[in-house]
């Protein structure tokens, strides 16, 4: 068996206060991300409810159209009944008229009533056909709504579970943040807090001679110092505390 020797580049230790500030910055960033994810959940829930309300209104509209058609049919059926009563009455009168003129007049009334009946019966047939199609619409909308409702229920349950996870995560990070902040010397913490308030973040990574938050290039002698992570330096442009994150140790495997 061949023996491999592993060489690891040692990374010089970071200034402890700088290290705490970097940790504070990372916890703060995580906390902000979790809090902003948490903050959008009520809006996402509202969107689901809005979508559900829209779909419910489609179903209600289909039901209303069907009911409207059924109501129109019933009204016309009632009218036909009334008209048939009227026609019977006129037919009875036909037996009692004394003159031709009266006879013609009653016959004329009967014709009018029968035309009216015919018109209404046509409407009844139309409404029956319409109701058949509208009934299918209602069935389809009901089936659609059932699916949408089940989806919405599941989506909301997922969101609630996500909110619970994020809430617990935010609480944990908040606690961690307090602990880290308590370990940072007062002066450094004041500096961090002041810059964070002004810039949104108090710490920035420096890479390739540049502050990675404001993207302004550092003077070479400052960059040389920053790379050592031995002292707390602020970016001359944005005032953030800068740190250097060296690449992971290179592992050289010698045969």
Assign 211 to helix, strand or coil.
strand
Q: How far is 102 from 111, CA to CA, in rounded Å?
A: 14
One character per residue 167-206, x = contact with Zn ion (rule: CB under 5 A) = ----------------------------------------
Q: Does 97 bind Zn ion (CB under 5 A)?
A: no
Length of the chain: 255
CB of 235 to Zn ion, least distance (A): 3
> From the CA atom positions of the chain, what is the Rg in Å?
42
Residue 52's CB is within 10 A of a number of other CB atoms, namely 18
Q: How far is 250 from 157, CA to CA, in rounded Å?
A: 46
Q: Does 222 bind Zn ion (CB under 5 A)?
A: no
CB of 8 to Zn ion, least distance (A): 32
Span interacting with Zn ion, options 109-117, 144-152, 227-235, 244-252, rule CB under 5 A: 227-235
Strand partners, 204: 242
Q: Does 212 bind Zn ion (CB under 5 A)?
A: no
- Between residues 27 and 204, which has the closer beta carbon with respect to Zn ion? 204
CB of 15 to Zn ion, least distance (A): 19
Question: 231 phi and psi, to 5 degrees?
Answer: -135, 165
Q: Which residues have C-beta within 8 Å of that of residue 155, sequence separation ≥ 6?
A: 48
- Between residues 48 and 214, which has the closer beta carbon with respect to Zn ion? 214
Site residues for Zn ion per CB under 5 A: 211, 213-214, 235, 237-238
């Amino acid at each position: 068996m061949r023996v491999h020797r592993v060489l690891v580049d040692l990374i010089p230790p970071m200034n402890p206060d700088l290290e705490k500030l970097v940790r504070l910055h990372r916890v703060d960033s995580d906390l902000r991300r979790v809090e902003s994810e948490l903050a959008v959940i009520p809006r996402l829930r509202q969107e689901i409810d809005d979508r559900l309300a829209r779909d419910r209104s489609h179903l209600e509209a289909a039901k209303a159209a069907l009911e409207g058609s059924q109501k129109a049919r019933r009204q016309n059926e009632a009218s036909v009944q009334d008209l048939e009563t009227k026609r019977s009455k006129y037919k009875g009168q036909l037996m009692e008229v004394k003159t031709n003129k009266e006879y013609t007049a009653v016959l004329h009334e009967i014709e009018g009533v029968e035309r009216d009946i015919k018109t209404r019966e046509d409407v009844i047939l139309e409404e029956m056909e319409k109701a058949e199609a509208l009934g299918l619409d209602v069935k389809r909308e009901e089936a659609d709504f059932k699916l949408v409702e089940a989806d919405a229920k599941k989506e909301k349950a997922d969101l609630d579970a996500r909110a619970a996870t994020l809430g617990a995560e935010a609480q944990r990070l908040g606690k961690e943040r307090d602990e880290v902040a308590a370990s940072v010397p007062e002066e450094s913490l004041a500096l961090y807090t002041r810059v964070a308030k002004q810039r949104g973040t108090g710490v920035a990574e420096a890479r390739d001679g540049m502050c990675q938050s404001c993207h302004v290039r550092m003077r070479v002698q400052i960059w040389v110092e920053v790379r050592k992570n031995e002292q707390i330096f602020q970016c001359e442009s944005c005032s953030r505390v800068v740190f250097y994150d060296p690449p992971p140790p290179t592992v050289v495997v010698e045969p």
